[in-house]
Chain A
Amino acid sequence: MVNILPSLGDRSLRSLVDLDQGLISREIYVNEEIYKQELEQVYGRAWLFIGHESLVPNPGDFFKSRMGEESVILVRDHKGALHVFLNTCRHRGMKVCRYDDGNTRLFTCPFHGWSYDTDGKLVGVPHFKAAFHEELDKSEFGLHEVAHLCNFYGSIWATWDRDAPSFEDYLGAYADGVRRCFESMDGIDNGVELFQPVQRWRLPCNWKFPAFSFDGDRMHGVTTHRSINVAAIGPQGDRNEGDRHPMRARFPSTAYEMSIRELGHGGHNDIYEQPGVAPYVDTWQTEPPEVDEYYRQAREKKAKKYEGQFLHGGGALIFPNVNIQEQRILHWHPHGVGATESWRLYQVDRNAPQAVRDAQRRYMMRYCGPAGLTESDDMENWNYASEASSGMMARRLPYPFKAGLGHNHGDDRVPGMTLNFDIAEENQRSRLARWLAFMEAGSWNDLYPNTKGK
């Protein structure tokens, strides 16, 4: 299938994405017509991150999330099962849920009073007899539910597309890395919960600026974040030149840009030369000693669990718009061609003591989010890069994505992964390749042929 873009003089989408030369038209970041196609072709099909089961622990608990531009409700029904519904009344479209989170027995529309059970069934229609003469088939007008939902070690994902592959197949070789981002520090699966609530704020840039560059643009750090070390926001305070990251033990390894070309996921990950888990180095100098003590003991337990095993890979940008890391989740929702709603969610060990929770929470708040000392500079750059790419002349100039071009290779230790230098632009090329595939695909059959007959 070839997408033709009348706004560009009948050019095909493919002509804008030259991955062999690493030249990408700015149009795909600023063109309204392309943006509208993205919502259908990408957001209508892909598995999207919704939230975490810890946000809705009890029957009736709900959490308002988002898929693409649209509001959805993650809810645990009265029997304990999880659902994701589009937040719109089936009668005239009013939002049936206008709270960020809470607990409810019913979602009742404030317009005409249609009400829905937590499992989505339409259970109440005012004037059912007088106006509808009891002829309305309520079973046809339940809340619109996603086609598939997956609870992946506590994290919740969903897709609108019935033909999508299983979520594990969608993740491919990154399934293991994502799984470990929802482990507690001591290595227990599904061992975390999310701090509440979500930080949500608006960025004046196309969603692909953050989503496609994060964890695929190590090059930006030294320039964008040049001012951060003087602020010494890291757990170790002024020590170690004010490094904003926690101290890490030396462990023989090589860092790569690692991605799955066929799936579009990718991160900055290590390949280790030795099995096991690196020992813990005290890092929380600005906190009570029990914080380091907790992490140290947790690391020892984790080391036992993974003794003799190689833990290559880790967190990554999961196509199209969420970056899953060990203590933070960065999520960017399209909000018009030139706007993004940015979300930050933070994991913490479910059993962590108060001092650890406080230390981790405050570190994340001063690092991440709109007031985070690191991320604020990213937003300035995405903002004005977006603006200065939109002009009549500017949009004719392609972006070069050439760093590391022609240097891809594989490694038997991480089957299915494409490796490139630690500082490269291969992860971004990989996302753009997958993006083009989604934009051209007629259905999931064109996107994941190996699921045929699954």
Chain B
Amino acid sequence: MTTDMTVETMRQMLERLMLQRDIEEFLSMEAELLDERRYDEWLEYIADDIHYHMPIRRNVRFGEQYRENTSADSEISWIDEGKRVLIGRVRQINTGIHWCEEPLSRVRHVVSNVQVYDPEGDEVKVRSRFIVYRNRMEDEVDLFAGKREDILRRDSVTGWKIAKRTIILDQNVLLAKNITFFF
């Protein structure tokens, strides 16, 4: 009896560990696609109904943190869109005449502190932190730090797809001249 429980517990732990590892590998693979500008391939991992949202962050009085990040329901954000616009962004970069990405920026994603929550059906909530470094032309440098709140969905072809991504950027006034790549 006790032995059976231990085996079952170990099986669950192993499953949890495998899930964590699987998702971390997925996020690393995604970062590789973005950093190597394989945007068309990246789009294959984006669910058709994705909500891709980067709120603006306000300076608010203590106690009003609930309204620190702008709402996708009623307010203005930096980015608030679905797959149609993400596809448009990729198409635009791929023209070779989208001047703010021509020549292409050098972008590196460092993704860490990955927290995987308990799966619900075929979806799982994942939180990760990022440092995104952009170097462009000769001496242009932007550094972005923040958190991503994702919902990943199991997919029979690609393993996972990103069904929702909220990007919490740790800036108030955006200190970069533009955002022309993906987080």
Question: Complex Cα distance A201/B176, Å?
Answer: 7
A102 touches B98 (CB 8 A): no
A370 touches B84 (CB 8 A): no
B173 touches A377 (CB 8 A): no
Nearest chain B CB to A142 CB, angstrom units? 23
Q: B48-62 CB contact bits vs A (8 Å, 1 = yes)?
A: 000000101011110
A370 touches B92 (CB 8 A): no
Nearest chain A CB to B28 CB, angstrom units? 25
B92 touches A231 (CB 8 A): yes
**Smallest CB-CB separation from A195: which chain B residue?**
B76
Binds B, one of A13-21, A300-308, A357-365: A357-365
B76 touches A379 (CB 8 A): no
Q: Name the prevailing secondary structure of the B interface residues.
A: loop
B99 touches A377 (CB 8 A): yes
A157 interface residue (CB < 8 Å to B): no
A100 touches B177 (CB 8 A): no
Q: Which residues of B contact A361 (CB under 8 A)?
A: 75-76, 80
Contacting B at CB under 8 A, from A381-407, are 381, 383-384
B74 touches A376 (CB 8 A): no
A200 touches B88 (CB 8 A): no
A224 touches B99 (CB 8 A): yes
Contacting B at CB under 8 A, from A224-268, are 224, 226-228, 230-233, 237
B58 touches A228 (CB 8 A): no
Interface centre among A98, A199, A346, A384 (most CB of B within 10 A): A199
B56 touches A231 (CB 8 A): no
Nearest chain A CB to B43 CB, angstrom units? 13
Question: Complex Cα distance A100/B74, Å?
Answer: 18
Contacting B at CB under 8 A, from A175-210, are 195-204
Q: Which residues of B contact A200 (CB under 8 A)?
A: 172-174
Q: Name the prevailing secondary structure of the A interface residues.
A: mixed
B175 interface residue (CB < 8 Å to A): yes
B70 interface residue (CB < 8 Å to A): yes
Question: Complex Cα distance A200/B70, Å?
Answer: 14
A371 touches B179 (CB 8 A): yes
B12 interface residue (CB < 8 Å to A): no
Q: A102-B61, A202-B174, A227-B98 are in contact. Are A373 and B79 (CB under 8 A)?
A: no
Question: Complex Cα distance A369/B178, Å?
Answer: 8
**Smallest CB-CB separation from B139: which chain A residue?**
A387
Contacting A at CB under 8 A, from B77-102, are 77-81, 84-85, 88-89, 91-92, 95, 97-100
B120 interface residue (CB < 8 Å to A): no
Q: Which residues of B contact A379 (CB under 8 A)?
A: 100, 177-178
Q: Which residues of A contact B177 (CB under 8 A)?
A: 201-204, 370, 379-380, 383
Q: Which residues of A contact B179 (CB under 8 A)?
A: 370-371, 376
Partner of B59, one of A98, A380, A383: A98
**Smallest CB-CB separation from A384: which chain B residue?**
B137
Q: Which residues of B contact A341 (CB under 8 A)?
A: 173
A226 touches B97 (CB 8 A): yes
Q: Which residues of B contact A375 (CB under 8 A)?
A: 178
Question: Complex Cα distance A227/B100, Å?
Answer: 11
**Smallest CB-CB separation from B91: which chain A residue?**
A230
Partner of B76, one of A199, A202, A226: A199
B178 touches A380 (CB 8 A): yes
A196 touches B100 (CB 8 A): no
**Smallest CB-CB separation from B77: which chain A residue?**
A365
Partner of A202, one of B58, B81, B173: B173
A201 touches B99 (CB 8 A): no
Partner of A365, one of B80, B97, B178: B80
**Smallest CB-CB separation from A343: which chain B residue?**
B173
Q: Which residues of B contact A231 (CB under 8 A)?
A: 85, 88-89, 91-92
Contacting B at CB under 8 A, from A312-370, are 341, 346, 357, 361-362, 364-366, 369-370
Q: Which residues of B contact A366 (CB under 8 A)?
A: 81, 85, 88
Question: Complex Cα distance A365/B70, Å?
Answer: 13
Q: Which residues of B contact A204 (CB under 8 A)?
A: 177
**Smallest CB-CB separation from B76: which chain A residue?**
A195
Partner of B58, one of A100, A370, A380: A100
Partner of B95, one of A199, A227, A380: A227
B64 interface residue (CB < 8 Å to A): yes
B100 touches A380 (CB 8 A): yes
Question: Complex Cα distance A287/B61, Å?
Answer: 37
Question: Complex Cα distance A272/B116, Å?
Answer: 61
Q: A224-B99, A227-B92, A379-B177 are in contact. Are A196 and B75 (CB under 8 A)?
A: yes
Q: Which residues of A contact B81 (CB under 8 A)?
A: 362, 365-366
**Smallest CB-CB separation from A357: which chain B residue?**
B74
- Where the two chains meet, the residues of B that have a C-beta atom closer than 8 Å to any C-beta of A are 54, 56, 58-61, 64, 70, 74-81, 84-85, 88-89, 91-92, 95, 97-100, 137, 172-180
Query: What are the 8 A-B residue pairs with the smallest beta carbon separation, nearest first?
Result: A231-B88, A201-B174, A380-B100, A371-B179, A227-B98, A376-B178, A227-B95, A231-B92
A-B contact pairs, 10 of them (CB 8 A): A100-B58, A196-B70, A197-B56, A199-B76, A201-B177, A203-B177, A230-B95, A361-B76, A371-B54, A377-B98
